[in-house]
A and B are shown apart, each in its own frame.
Chain A
Amino acid sequence: MKRMTLGLAAALMLAAAARADTTATGDLGLVIERTTGSVLLVDQSDRAALARIEGLGDLSHASLVYSPDERFAYVFGRDGGLTKIDIVKREIAGRVVQAGNAIGGAISDDGELVAVSNYEPGGVRVFDADTLDMVADFPTGSKTIGLVDVPGRKFVFTMWDSGETWIADMSGAEPRITKIPDMGKNPYDALVTANGRTYITGLFGEDGLTALDLWEQDPQPIRVLPGYGRGEQKMPVYKMPHLEGWALAGDEFVLPAVGHHEVLWVDARSLKETGRTRTHGQPVFAMARPDGRQVWVNFAHPENDTVQVIDTLTKQVIHEFKPGPAVLHMEFTPRGHEVWISVRDAGKIMIYDTHSFEKLREIDADSPSGIFFTARAHRTGL
């Protein structure tokens, strides 16, 4: 009896110790350090870096998604590396090099599947989120971009070379693929609305975008802003824009124009143009503050030292500032009171109040690019 009591006491002490070690991950995030193949674990509330995790390969153009419990991050590297990071233990929990050249990924709504879109070999590969074992392979014969998750254990992705969009339904015993041709010439990226309904791909090969209504039984390409740059000389594009973070103000959203110094406003229901805002340079990201009241825009080389803030009611630029050389990415805190901005060539992450525009803190980072807060775990398409 006495021995049993001792055993129980020991077990309880162990449990207590484990509880004391619990890490709350809800206000954490990871920052890609693109040149050194590392990620920086950051704390949003403390505005601080907590740890650096190394050994992730070539992280140019890297991005990541989170598991539903916000404990694991899946990092998609340029060199085809898929790395699973344990935020609690601050270490790599698994890594596979799944292709020669990759461009991004997504996690299914149930958190069980991680998909990666690849340039080489072109296509999408799907992995078990626990083990990183491959469970499906969809060769497309094309560089594949714009991969997102949508409700119903589905992934949607688009082909740069062939201009097709595929919907992969992973809910059954065997994957089911729906192919939608004729999305346009050279789609470069895509996004999906937070409700998973509207998928929009931007086109590099022509002025315009193409939308799909994924709630339709048989989605058909819908042309958006065809020929938006008509009559204007298209400028050289030194960096492809990104479609992510979608600005909804009432019923409108805002998108970066390719090869032009402007962002484009579109009615979310009719998909008709409702306005344009002239910008400092060619926009790379046009990202809505989570409440949709502001849109923050950064720019392509060589105008990439500047950020502009647009008010969504008036569509006017209300603030412009220069955080430093090579502003690559911006991430809002989930309720939008602060924004974290990576300034690559300054080697800093800079944190700003989105109401006063005051700079609150700088954090050192090695060539920082993408910033990803764990709250993304609960957002479709991010």
Chain B
Amino acid sequence: MPRIAAIFCALFLAAAAALASAQQVTPERAASLEHLVVQDCGSCHGLTMKGGLGSPLTREAISHYDPDVLALVILDGVPGTAMPPWRPLLSEADALWIAEYLLEGDSK
């Protein structure tokens, strides 16, 4: 069991390390990602990110997460909940950009 946990942990770290940089996102792509966050993430998390069927994503609510971890949640979803994996629609750089965008909150 500890070995499985270790493997999982290693995989997780490897995946996190493999994530691309948010810098790779062009300004045009960033604009469309911002639109996606407000409108489509907003369907579940609220337009102001205060939550709905999905958890709140305000800066206060998520500030204790690393951007890489949030990016993985975006890409792979949360099994057993309504959070879907966005990997079919978003690149790793996209997800990281969104994670950083959310962590910067209103200051952006």
Contacts and interface: CB of A to CB of B under 8 A. Distances in A.
B48 A240 contact: no
Contact of B51 (A35, A101, A160, A237): A101
Contact of A61 (B52, B82, B85): B52
A101 B52 contact: yes
Interface residues of B, number: 21
A60 B82 contact: no
A239 B40 contact: yes
Nearest to B43: A239
A120 B45 CA distance: 13
B59 interface: no
A160 B81 CA distance: 11
Contacts of B39: 35, 326, 344-345, 367
B38 A35 contact: yes
B77 interface: yes
Contact of A236 (B44, B50, B52, B77): B77
A60 B53 contact: no
Interface string B24-54: 0000000000010011101110111011110
Given A119-B52, A237-B82, A61 B43 contact: yes
A103 B38 contact: no
Contacts of B88: 236
A77 B39 CA distance: 15
A143 B51 CA distance: 11
B94 to A, nearest CB: 13
Interface string A5-35: 0000000000000000000000000000011
Contacts of B48: 58, 79
Interface string B45-74: 011101111000000000000000000000
Contact of A78 (B38, B40, B52, B77): B52
A239 B38 CA distance: 14
Contacts of A78: 46-47, 52
A380 B105 CA distance: 42
Contacts of B35: 345
Nearest to A237: B84
Contacts of B43: 60-61, 239-240
A345 B88 CA distance: 22
Contact of B52 (A103, A237, A301, A326): A103
A237 B79 CA distance: 12
A58 B50 CA distance: 10
Contacts of A345: 35, 39
B44 A240 contact: yes
Contact of A60 (B52, B77, B84): B52
A238 B51 contact: no
A120 B50 CA distance: 10
Nearest to B82: A204
B89 interface: yes
Contact of A186 (B44, B46, B82): B82
A219 B52 CA distance: 30
Interface of B: 35, 38-40, 42-44, 46-48, 50-53, 77, 82, 84-86, 88-89
The 8 closest A-B pairs by CB, nearest first: A236-B84, A60-B47, A60-B42, A301-B40, A236-B85, A58-B47, A237-B84, A78-B46
Given A60-B42, A240-B44, 14 more contacts: A58-B46, A58-B48, A100-B50, A103-B52, A119-B52, A119-B53, A236-B86, A237-B84, A238-B86, A238-B89, A239-B40, A239-B43, A301-B40, A344-B39
